Structures are given as C-alpha cells and as structure tokens.
Structure 1
C-alpha cells in the first residue's frame, strides 16, 4: 500500500479473505485499494463487508461515511467508471506473459530491480509464495525470454533479460499502469487469473 502497488495489495487481501472471510482488516484494506484506484462502488462494498465482519472497525465506518459525503457534494461524476477492455497491446502482453498473479509479481519485481540476480528461494521469501511455485513461474518466464537463468553459481540465479522489443512492450505496460483506469483493469485481469 505504501508503495502504491494497489493491484498486488488487493491480491494479497483477496488471499486473506479466501482463507478468513470475516477478516475485517482485509476488507478494509481492499476498500482502501479500490478507493485509491477510483473504484468507489467496490470501495463502498468492501467497507460494508469490513463493518459486517468487524463492527467495531471504526476506520471502515469513517471511510464509508467520508466516501458518501464526497459523492453527495461532488455528484456521481467524482468517481471514475472505467471501460471493461484493456487496450489491445497491453492485453496481448498480459495474456502471453502473465499466467497468474505470481507471474505479475515476479515481472514487476525484476522490472523494478533490473540489475539484481535472485534465487528462487529468495524470491519465494520476498513474495510470500512457495519455492516450488516460484520455480515453475521462473522457468516459464525464462522460456518466454523475459528472464535468464544463470548457472555459474551453485544455485541458479535469475536476471531480467528481455530483448529490446519485449522491453519496450513491458515499458509500455508499466507506463500505462500510471493511469488509474488501466491499473484497475490490470488488477481485474489478475483477480480473474487468481480465481482460475
């Protein structure tokens, strides 16, 4: 949340809610993510679920009241409504390279740390995933020429190594993420992938 990685924060909250549906704090944080992305209806719904799960959770009540007051003052246009489809090139990239939220987490990690070499174990600890799952995704991303496996050390280390054309596509996707509408659409795509 502090780093404004709302789509990843939203996925983490969703994982918590799947295991503990009555976790008020997870619903509260989901509401905060939705609100930050301009999705007021989803934020309102999450805040209500937070109150239902944990009625003394005063932050949810306060945020819900504030949201409703702002909408009364600003009218329905204050909260953005986004189109359902992501632009073609971005969607093509997601469909080819992002098979799951774990794929996305790893891509974002290496994109932000392009000079870093990381082991599957280190990535698993950092991302809070099983090492076996991380190894499987790393192998797939190497097959797709987004990452490179280095076997010069006792354990394989992975580096960010896309060809120029692929790097440009990834730059475009990451730049498009700066727009809240596109960010929400990518998050929606990732949530669908998490369900399958």
Structure 2
C-alpha cells in the first residue's frame, strides 16, 4: 500500500472577487495588458493611439479592446474634439478591483509611474 504525503506548506486562499474580475474583464492578453496599464497609471487620460504606442501594440486592435473595456465599465470614454479619450473607471468597486489586479501581478506592491 502506498502512502501519500501531503505538502506541509502554507495554504493559500483564492481571491474569488479577483478571479471573477479576471474571468469577466481580463479574458485575453491584450485586455489584461490594458487593465494593468491603466491601473498602473490610474489618473491617465489618453487616446487609443497613444496607449497603443506606450504598450507597443497595434492601434486598430487597441482601439477595439479599449472600446470593449469601456462598454464593460472598467474604463470610461470621453470625447475631446471628436477624439475618444480613455481612463480608468471612477466606479469604486471596479476601480478597486483593477488596482488590486495590477498590485497582485506586481507581487503585492503598487507600481509607480
């Protein structure tokens, strides 16, 4: 008969709210990157083209994903002289989860710009 040895390491709890946030909003790599980008720059207001340049991605694809994230409520979209400007949501719960998401990816430390 074989014996099974259990790990004696600490048990980590699953952050269910964060897991649901990831499944709902950061469900592909570009959205993941965009949410992290805005969470690392929570007071930034910028165009899709500038965001694409900053993260090294195709502006057309970034524009589409930013629009999706705005529709989902993670980002907000304003217009300035017929140009769309994106920024992290002001909705307290979603904003808090986006910031927690980015902080979690950085090992618990908030990134500074």
Structures share a fold, TM > 0.5?
yes
In structure 2, what is the equivalent of residue 94 of structure 1?
22
2:62 is the counterpart of 1:134: yes
Q: Which residue of 2 aligns with 1:115?
A: 43
Moved over 6 A (4+): none
Q: How many residue pairs align between the two structures?
A: 99
1:177–1:129 Cα change, 3 Å: closer
Residue 178 (structure 1) shift: 4.6
**Which residue of structure 2 lines up, in the alignment, with residue 171 of structure 1?**
99
Which of the residues 92, 104, 108 maps onto 2:32?
Answer: 104
Please give the residue correspondences for 1:30-109 in structure 2 after superposition, counting only pairs within 5 Å.
87-109=15-37
Q: What is the TM-score with the length of structure 2 in the denominator? A: 0.72
1:134 shift after superposition? 0.3
| Structure with greater helix share of residues | 1
Residue 151 of structure 1 aligns to a residue in which SS? strand
Structure 1, unaligned runs of 5 or more: 1-79, 181-196
From the CA coordinates, give the structure whose radius of gyration is larger.
Answer: 1
If each structure's strand is expressed as a fraction of its own residues, which one has the higher value?
A: 2
Q: Of the two structures, which has the highest relative contact order with CA contacts closer than 8 Å and spacing of 6 or more? A: 2
Query: RMSD over aligned Cα, in angstroms?
Result: 2.5
- The residue that corresponds to 1:158 in the other structure is 86
Q: Given the two structures, how large is their TM-score scaled by the length of structure 1? A: 0.44
The gaps in structure 2 that reach 5 residues or longer are 1-8, 109-113
